[in-house]
Copies of this chain bind each other. A is one copy, B any other.
Amino acid sequence: MTAATAPAKGQATRELILDHAYERARVGGLESLSIGSLAADVGMSKSGLFAHFGSREDLQLAVLETAGRRFMANVLLPALSVPRGLPRLRAIVAQWSEWGRKHQSGCVLLTAAGEYDGRDGALHDAVVAQQGGWRDELEKAIAQAAAEGHLNASADAGQLAFEIYALMLGLHHDAGLFGFEQAHQRTQAAFERLWRSWQS
């Protein structure tokens, strides 16, 4: 035995399943996940796969959590090594756009927001919590930029966070319908206008 933690084999399978499920949910949403076709995708039996999650809903929750962790690791984490304030805020937007490029075929988190914003249940609650958490991180970075004097002192963090998020929604939307490159270009132009508009 080399590592201190034996991978426990079942855990490894669970992660393999989540990998496939994540890719599948990127394209068709969490609602498109079906035990049977996912099992065929992974290469195991329905029941064998099912045993790793007590229910379809638990599987969906696990995929959502995986997506949230990957998003944070790919977007927020790299930006934390950039000096706080406007530079970090720009870094977040840049990483977020890059995330959008890699997820042109669909982002689990955004799709889930659309899938569950009307209904209620565990999925809805999880989506709201995830989106709220990310919005909080955004507002924190904005508040730091205001404190550093990089943004107008009277900056309303919630308002700016909303506008940033809206532009990223626009990027995702236009990228899906009209192609990523044009959408990306317009998003960047819009951000330059936005930063200018929020500087004293």
A residues whose Cβ falls under 8 Å from a Cβ of B: 27-29, 31, 105-106, 110-111, 113-115, 117-119, 127-128, 131-132, 158-159, 162-163, 165-167, 169-171, 173-174, 176-178, 183, 186-187, 189-190, 193, 196-197
Chain B positions within 8 Å of A186 at CB level? 158-159, 162-163
**Residue among B28, B117, B167, B177 making CB contact with A128, cutoff 8 Å:** B177
A23 to chain B minimum Cβ distance, whole angstroms, is 12
Chain B positions within 8 Å of A115 at CB level? 29
**Residue among B27, B118, B165 making CB contact with A118, cutoff 8 Å:** B27
**Residue among B29, B159, B173 making CB contact with A169, cutoff 8 Å:** B173
Bound CA–CA A162/B167 (angstroms): 9
B177 & A170 in contact (Cβ 8 Å cutoff): no
A172 to chain B minimum Cβ distance, whole angstroms, is 9
Bound CA–CA A111/B162 (angstroms): 20
A101 to chain B minimum Cβ distance, whole angstroms, is 15
Apart from A29-B115, A117-B177, A196-B197, what 9 extra A-B contacts exist at CB < 8 Å? A105-B118, A114-B176, A117-B176, A132-B177, A162-B170, A163-B167, A163-B170, A165-B170, A169-B170
A113 & B173 in contact (Cβ 8 Å cutoff): yes
Task: Report 24 cross-chain contacts, Cβ distance below 8 Å, ordered by A residue.
Answer: A27-B118, A28-B118, A29-B114, A29-B115, A106-B117, A113-B177, A114-B114, A117-B176, A131-B177, A132-B178, A158-B186, A159-B186, A159-B189, A159-B190, A162-B170, A162-B174, A162-B187, A163-B190, A165-B174, A166-B166, A166-B167, A166-B171, A166-B173, A196-B197
Those 6 A-B pairs whose CB atoms lie nearest each other, nearest first: A166-B170, A117-B176, A169-B169, A162-B186, A114-B114, A166-B166
